[in-house]
Amino acid sequence: MSSIVLRSRTISNNFSSKIISQRGLCSGVVSSSSDPSKGTTISSQSILSDQSTPPPLAPEVAPQVSGGKIWSFVKYGLIAGVTGTTGYAGYLSYICPNTMKKLGMKKYGGLLYSAAMTVLAKALESYLDLRRLVEEHLLEYTEPTSDKLLPDLHPLEQHVFTLVLDLNETLLYTDWKRERGWRTFKRPGVDAFLEHLAKFYEIVVYSDQMNMYVDPVCERLDTKHCIRYRLSRGATNYQDGKHYRDLSKLNRDPAKILYVSAHAFDSSLQPENCVPIKPYKLETDDTALLDLIPFLEYVARNSPADIRQVLQSYERKDITKEFLERSKEYQRRVQEQKQQGRLWRR
């Protein structure tokens, strides 16, 4: 009995909850649809506010064609036309001569050919002129400043030999140190060497240094004016990065020129005129210049026809020692001849 009562109560409770939920739904629907004009008004206002008035249309502008583009088009068109015509005419003149005759363009082809050859000739001539100009400028730095570096020899001195001397490591030595800078040292015996040989030779200093160095050094070196002429770097011949002495430009007879240098064969273009000497490196017991005086005096007194043949006989040996040995041998032969003459007289 009690279970029946409980079931009836639960059923009644469920039924009452369903009725309440249905009422709530009905009231929600009625409240949402009770003022329909508000919803429609809001939606219409939002639509009106989103729609903005369109801007006025700009007037259409007709496209303008720039004059530069037209001119470039015409220019390139003319160039293409002239090039094509010239190429076609050249093709006909060289490939199809019979066709040229048939078309009556033989005269035109000849004119075109002559014009082309004239242009090529002018271009070649301009190139040669430019090349000649460049070579002339280069010669100013590579060739001696003149073909006659020395003035003409006096007529009464035509028999005199020319003694060409180098400066560095020959007559003097230049040294540099941090504490004192550059200093120049005279070689032992240089004063006696110059003073004695000035009686027999025309002495010329020929250096590869600048004249701003050569002139003041020679003025202090040669206080008695034994040196007649000074030649500096401007008188040298520049080849392969080195300055060479060109003895052929001295305006003197090559058969009467002697070039004395510590680097004679490496600094002259005429090795047949070279007289090598030991380089001077500040040795206190150096006597190379004084030892060379007998040979040079012998040459000046005997005046050989060609000094180059005399120097060639030494075969690049030490001339000082070789000359001393030859002198001793000559004296020995003279003594033998004298003794033989005495024996024959007896």
> Which position has the higher pLDDT, 247 or 108?
247
> Which position has the higher pLDDT, 140 or 301?
301
- Is the pLDDT score of 69 beyond 80? no
Q: How many CA atoms lie within 13 A of 283 on its CB side?
A: 13
- What would the two tokens of residue 111 be? 């004119």
**43-52, 76-85, 149-158: least confidently modelled range:** 43-52
Element (H, E) at 47: helix 36-50
Tell me if 261 sits within 8 A of 277, measured CB to CB. yes
Q: Which residues contact 228 (CB under 8 A, 6 or more apart)?
A: 202, 203, 204
Closest CA to 204 of 222, 226, 230, 179: 230
Q: Where are the beta strands (DSSP E) in 99-207?
A: 161-165, 172-177, 181-186, 201-206
Work out the average pLDDT over 100-109. 53
Per-residue confidence at 121, pLDDT binned at 50, 70, 90?
confident
Closest CA to 206 of 245, 239, 243: 245
Q: For residue range 240-287, list pLDDT tens digits in order.
A: 889 999 999 999 999 999 999 999 999 999 999 999 999 999 999 999
DSSP letters spanning 54-70: PPPPPPP-PPPPPHHHH
Domain ranges of the chain: 76-142, 157-313
At the fourth CATH level, which superfamily is domain 157-313? HAD superfamily/HAD-like (3.40.50.1000)
Q: For residue range 10-36, list pLDDT tens digits in order.
A: 444 444 444 334 444 333 333 333 343
